[in-house]
């Protein structure tokens, strides 16, 4: 153990003195933009730090004078060579130290053994002082391996690899980390648990700073001896902090790092999996707010769940006591978390991992949760949520990890999600067809038909539509399922067709198209054109070229709807009139300022909504924002001229002609109440422009707020608070 203590001191020296100097040197070279004064100060500080003598080493476990003398000698020798180490020297030294530690550990375990029997060696326990040496080894060795983040390119340039990079990893680094994990996988599970129960927090922090360390955690989880222990520690740790996942964003990144670090140390699957489970359960609450940390927790949970399939006998017992906590707490916290999506992703990972049909122990444990879970998911999928959330609720309903025989009492709860799946994305259609075919193959026809009767028409129509699916395998499955229904698949042909009734009396705004040999122009209604352009802008799947063309269509339509006959001199003379800043602003009924052509207002509202959506798209933003600002100012100035100044609309003034500027407020209301809150940013900018323009013309914010335009704005925004959807209420 004295030799191991010396190796730990070597790791400490590299971590505390050599590594900071090397990283500081290469970072400043990589940035290349640091001011000269700052650079010299930093280099001086680094040099000063390197020259500082290291603190006195702790007392060795044996406590005799020879060991103290040895440690002092090693420390002095390493200090003397402090200024001579390069990155290559440190990498070579770290590799040698890790391999040496592994050999020393194996020798320490086996030296007192009467035989070299592997079972005897793995059952040997270390005493507390020896265990503390391994705790310090974890602390300093995980810092020292950061030397591998200093990477040299093929051109000879050296740079420091960012912590988040996962793919850039040398073969030597991977081997060193695997050897380091091997130091602990040969230990007794009780010693292993004692070490990593004390250091799991630190491991997560190290993984956060160096993503490559997840190899250690992966090794622990993939080892039969350590898998269950490590998973238990990790799950308990995560569950204890599950609520934080709904509120704290900074912590999530740290936890993700921690979890990844734990994965690499999981070389013994049964022992390590238990540590991981404990850790994850302790941090389950943090999955609702911080995206980085939440993603890390999800990865760690998936590793734990995956270990159940790898070592079912050991890890089913590990996961069983935590199953109720994971499901109930995730559903509970999802109701109040800022980002509930993470909790449902956690449930999906759990369902997918244990839903293969071979985990009867977990299925029995899951049965008491089934009624409340299905009821909650059904109510969620029938509510107003973002589309990706609805898809997730449907998938969770169809993939609950229980036997079909256990689902029979709750079969009616699966019918609505089944129809939604068949009308959803390709993934949901495939899942819905698998579930439906399973029911058709294993249930009596009369029993099944009784349960699908409430949704029979929608179900059959969805199946017939699936026959036209572009993916052949999905169409083949749908055809097979329809055949298994027999004659019942044609009963829906007697159902009345669902037609969209056109209640509009006029064609609305139209484009007149003239052809060379035709005297009469062709009128093309613009409604569908603007509607499809808006949908193309909203969809993230739309190609950037078609997005740009959709914006051009909307832009041209908005320009064509403007009346720009007045010249600049006339407008300047109008808006500098003293009545704007001094005259009375009369509140007239809102109908006086509103165009009565609802069809035309609807098309104009869609076009303005498309303008705000385009302003939120990164590629289009530079060209959209100036145009948007001009349009908002134009509409605001028209509203001010109509509602104040020398010629307000009233009893003595002619009625409103053309489109009313209040349509801008209607479009803003749609944007602020949209489910995608990124669209609110252009909406906020538009509100600022409206107030700024009105204040400039009328002279004061208080006077600007007296305009009927602002009354209408407040009324429409307050109306969002009474909408059913939560995201609309949030917009209000």
Segment 651-669 shows an average pLDDT of: 76
Residues 6+ away with beta carbon under 8 Å from 719: 669, 732
Distance from C-alpha of 297 to C-alpha of 263, rounded to nearest angstrom:
11
Alpha carbons 423 and 159: distance in angstroms, whole number: 50
**Dist CA 137 CA 154 (whole Å):** 33
Q: Which of 428-432, 455-459, 587-591 has the highest mean pLDDT?
A: 428-432
Calpha distance 334→58 (Å, rounded): 47
User: What DSSP element (H or E) covers 646?
Assistant: none
The token pair that represents 684 in the structure block: 């906020």
Q: Look at residue 654 in the predicted model and tell me its pLDDT.
A: 54
> Regarding predicted confidence, which is higher, 607 or 582?
607
What is the chain's alpha carbon radius of gyration, rounded to the nearest angstrom?
A: 34
Q: Where are the beta strands (DSSP E) in 44-143?
A: none
First to last CA, the chain: 67
Gap between the Cα atoms of 419 and 653, Å rounded: 57
* 32 vs 520 pLDDT, higher one: 520
pLDDT at position 559 is 92
Question: Token pair 């009139």 is at which residue?
Answer: 577
Report the mean per-residue pLDDT for the chain.
Answer: 79
Question: Mind listing the pLDDT tens digit for each residue in 375-413?
Answer: 999 888 887 788 888 999 999 999 998 888 888 888 888
Q: Where are the beta strands (DSSP E) in 145-214?
A: 150-152, 158-160
What residues pair up with 269 in beta bridges, in sequence order? 224
Top-ranked range on mean pLDDT: pick from 131-135, 159-163, 378-382: 131-135
Rounded Cα gap, residues 39 and 571, in angstroms: 57
The average pLDDT across 697-718 equals: 87
Cα–Cα nearest to 67, from 76, 58, 80, 55: 58
CB under 8 Å, gap of 24 or more: what pairs does 43-47 form? 46/20, 46/21, 47/21
Q: What is the pLDDT of residue 605?
A: 93
DSSP output for 204-269: HHHHHH-GGGHHHHHHHHTSBTTHHHHHHHHHHHHHTTGGGGGT-SHHHHHHHHHHHHHHHB--SH
Work out the angle between the directed axes of helices 250-264 and 227-239 (0-180°, nearest 10): 170
- Is residue 139's pLDDT more than 80? yes
3-class DSSP string for 387-450: HHHHHHHHHHHHCCCCCHHHHHHHHHHHHHHHHHHHCCCHHHHHHHHHHHHHHHHHCCHHHHHH
Does residue 3 surpass a pLDDT of 60?
Answer: yes
Nearest CA-CA partner of 201 in 240, 246, 149, 160: 240
Contacts of 73 (CB under 8 A, 6+ apart): none
Render 303-352 in DSSP notation, one character per residue: HHHHHHHHSHHHHHHHHHHHHHHHHHHHHHHHTT-S-THHHHHHHHHHHH
Distance CA 207, CA 386 (A): 33
pLDDT 10s digits, 499-555: 778 877 777 888 888 888 888 888 888 899 999 999 999 988 889 999 999 999 999
Is 266 within 8 Å of 277 (Cβ atoms)?
no
Confidence grade of residue 186 (pLDDT, cut at 50, 70, 90): confident
Q: pTM value?
A: 0.75
pLDDT tens figures, 352-382: 888 877 788 888 888 999 999 999 998 888 8
Q: How far is it, in rounded angstroms, from Cα 183 to Cα 190?
A: 15
What the block records as the tokens of 446 is: 């009369």
3-class DSSP state for residue 283?
A: strand
pLDDT category of residue 687 using cuts at 50, 70 and 90: very high
The ranges assigned to domains in the chain are 1-161, 162-324, 391-494, 562-731
% of the chain exceeding 90 in pLDDT: 17
Cα separation, 206 vs 673, in Å, equals 41
Tokens 């300022």 correspond to 593
DSSP characters over 522-559: EEEESHHHHHHHHHHHH-TTS-HHHHHHHHHHHHHHHH
CB-count burial class (<10 Å; 0-12, 13-18, 19+) for 15: buried
Strand segments, DSSP code E, in 403-542 are: 510-513, 522-525
């Amino acid at each position: 153990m004295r030799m191991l203590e010396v190796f730990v001191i070597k790791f400490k020296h590299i971590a505390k003195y050599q590594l900071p100097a090397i990283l500081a040197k290469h970072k400043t070279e990589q940035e290349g933009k640091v001011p000269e004064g700052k650079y010299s100060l930093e280099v001086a500080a680094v040099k000063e730090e390197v020259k500082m003598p290291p603190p006195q080493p702790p007392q060795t476990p044996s406590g005799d004078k020879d060991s103290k003398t040895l440690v002092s000698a090693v420390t002095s020798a390493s200090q003397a060579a402090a200024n001579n180490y390069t990155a290559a020297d440190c990498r070579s030294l770290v590799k040698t130290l890790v391999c040496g530690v592994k050999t020393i550990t194996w020798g320490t375990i086996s030296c007192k053994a009467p035989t070299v029997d592997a079972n005897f060696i793995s059952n040997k326990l270390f005493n507390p002082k020896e265990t503390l040496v391994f705790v310090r080894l974890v602390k300093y060795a995980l810092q020292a391996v950061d030397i591998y983040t200093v990477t040299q390119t093929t051109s000879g340039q050296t740079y420091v690899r960012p912590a988040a990079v996962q793919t850039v990893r040398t073969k030597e680094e991977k081997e060193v980390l695997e050897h380091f994990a091997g130091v602990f996988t040969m230990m007794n599970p009780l010693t292993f648990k004692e070490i990593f129960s004390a250091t799991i927090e630190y491991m997560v922090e190290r993984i956060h700073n160096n993503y490559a360390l997840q190899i250690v955690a992966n090794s622990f989880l993939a080892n039969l001896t350590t898998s269950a222990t490590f998973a238990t520690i990790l799950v308990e740790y995560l569950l204890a902090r599950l609520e934080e996942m709904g509120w704290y964003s900074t912590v999530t990144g740290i936890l993700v790092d921690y979890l990844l670090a734990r994965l690499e140390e999981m070389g013994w699957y049964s022992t390590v999996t238990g540590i991981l489970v404990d850790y994850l359960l302790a941090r389950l609450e943090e999955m609702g707010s911080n995206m980085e940390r939440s993603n890390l927790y999800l990865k760690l949970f998936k590793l734990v769940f995956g270990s159940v399939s790898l070592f079912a006998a050991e890890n089913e017992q590990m996961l069983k006591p935590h199953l109720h906590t994971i499901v109930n707490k995730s559903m509970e916290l999802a109701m109040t978390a800022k980002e509930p999506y993470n909790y449902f992703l956690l449930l999906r990972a759990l369902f997918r991992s244990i839903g293969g049909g071979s985990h009867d122990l977990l299925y029995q444990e899951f049965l008491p949760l089934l009624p409340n879970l299905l009821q909650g998911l059904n109510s969620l999928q029938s509510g107003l949520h973002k589309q990706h959330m609805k898809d997730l609720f449907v998938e969770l309903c169809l993939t609950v990890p229980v036997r079909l025989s256990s689902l029979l009492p709750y079969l009616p709860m699966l019918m609505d999600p089944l129809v939604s799946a068949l009308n959803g994305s390709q993934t949901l259609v495939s899942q819905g067809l698998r579930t439906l075919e399973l029911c058709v193959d294993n249930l009596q026809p009369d029993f099944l038909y009784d349960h699908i009767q409430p949704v029979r028409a929608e179900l059959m129509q969805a199946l017939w539509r699936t026959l036209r699916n572009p993916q052949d395998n999905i169409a083949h499955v749908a055809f097979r399922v329809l055949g298994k229904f027999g004659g019942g698949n044609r009963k829906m042909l007697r159902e009345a067709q669902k037609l969209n009734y056109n209640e509009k009396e006029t064609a609305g705004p139209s484009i007149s198209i003239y052809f060379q040999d035709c005297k009469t122009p062709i009128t093309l209604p613009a409604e569908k054109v603007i509607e499809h352009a808006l949908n193309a802008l909203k969809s993230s799947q739309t190609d950037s070229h078609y997005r740009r063309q959709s914006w051009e269509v909307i832009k041209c339509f908005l320009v064509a709807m403007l009346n720009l006959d007045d010249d600049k001199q006339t407008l300047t003379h109008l808006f500098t009139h003293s009545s704007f800043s001094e005259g009375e602003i009369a509140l007239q009924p809102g109908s006086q300022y509103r165009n009565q052509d609802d069809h035309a207002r609807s098309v104009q509202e869609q076009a303005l909504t498309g303008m705000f959506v385009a302003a939120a798209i990164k590629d289009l933003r530079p060209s959209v924002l100036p145009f948007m600002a001009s349009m908002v100012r134009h509409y605001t100035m028209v509203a001010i001229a109509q509602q104040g100044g020398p010629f307000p609309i009233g009893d003595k003034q002619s009625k409103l002609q053309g489109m009313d500027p209040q349509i801008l407020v209607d479009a803003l209301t749609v944007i602020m109440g949209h489910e995608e809150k990124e669209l609110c940013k252009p909406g906020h900018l538009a509100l600022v422009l409206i107030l700024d323009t009105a204040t400039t013309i009328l002279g004061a914010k208080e006077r600007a707020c007296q305009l009927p335009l602002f009354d209408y704005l407040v009324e429409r925004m307050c109306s969002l608070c009474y909408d059913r959807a939560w995201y609309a209420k949030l917009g209000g």
